[in-house]
């Protein structure tokens, strides 16, 4: 049977080094864990019918077209979806609770107001936007020529650098009211961090 002395002789250099640094009976301290940041994810969705005689407002930018989203305000589905995503991420309810369509103050209002007021509420609760990803679902008109302007406009409202805002245009390939160009819809996902 090997003695304690002979066992130490046969131990590998790495083992001997570890033993020398950690004498018997003394535990080495474990890694120091840093507290995780408070991160919150929010999901927003909005859909509006398209009617003649309304401006096509998308992300605060007017897109030339003969129809636009019907709504109590300017009906901007993208800004509405983003606003809902921000409110949801912060646990602050939804657009209907803060900006009801029964309130005459919001009749014909720019949807930028909803986003600006929501950002004030987030700031008061110490939340900051990390990034935003959006889908805009519309059969016509083609949005590719306008996407960059929309993305930069949203980034300006949120006081973010444009690379932290993503806006993607999708078609519904002829399916349902979206595919028949009777409606426009938007989805938004946002990540918040609490400072």
Confidence of residue 19 (pLDDT cuts 50, 70, 90): very low
pTM of the model: 0.82
Of 162, 170, 168, give the one whose Cα is nearest residue 189: 168
Domain segments of the chain as ranges: 38-194
Which whole number is the average pLDDT over 7-26? 49
Tens-digit pLDDT profile for residues 70-101: 999 999 999 999 999 999 999 999 999 999 99
The 3-class secondary structure across 107-156, one letter per residue, is: CCCCCHHHHHHHHHHHHHCCEEEEEEEEEEECCCCCCHHHHHHHHHHHHH
Tens-digit pLDDT profile for residues 132-153: 999 999 999 999 999 999 999 9
pLDDT value for 34 = 76
Q: How big is the CA angle at 69 (ends 65 and 72), to the nearest 5 degrees?
A: 140
CATH class of 38-194: alpha beta
């Amino acid at each position: 049977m090997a003695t304690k002395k002979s066992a130490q002789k046969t131990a590998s250099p790495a083992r001997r080094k570890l033993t020398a640094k950690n004498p018997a009976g003394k535990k080495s301290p474990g890694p120091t864990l840093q507290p995780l940041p408070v991160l919150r994810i929010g999901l927003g969705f909005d859909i509006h019918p398209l009617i003649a005689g309304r401006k096509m407002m998308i992300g605060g930018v007017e897109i030339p077209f003969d129809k636009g989203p019907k709504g109590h305000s300017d009906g901007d589905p993208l800004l509405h979806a983003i606003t809902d995503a921000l409110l949801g991420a912060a646990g602050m309810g939804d657009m209907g609770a803060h900006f009801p369509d029964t309130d005459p103050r919001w009749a014909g209002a720019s949807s930028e107001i909803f986003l600006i007021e929501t950002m004030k509420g987030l700031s008061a609760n110490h939340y900051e936007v990390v990034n935003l990803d959006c889908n805009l679902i519309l059969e016509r008109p083609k949005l590719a020529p306008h996407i960059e302007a929309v993305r930069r406009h949203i980034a300006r409202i949120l006081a973010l650098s444009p690379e932290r805002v993503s806006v993607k245009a999708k078609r519904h390939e002829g399916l349902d009211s979206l595919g028949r160009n009777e409606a426009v819809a938007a989805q938004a996902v946002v990540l918040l961090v609490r400072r």
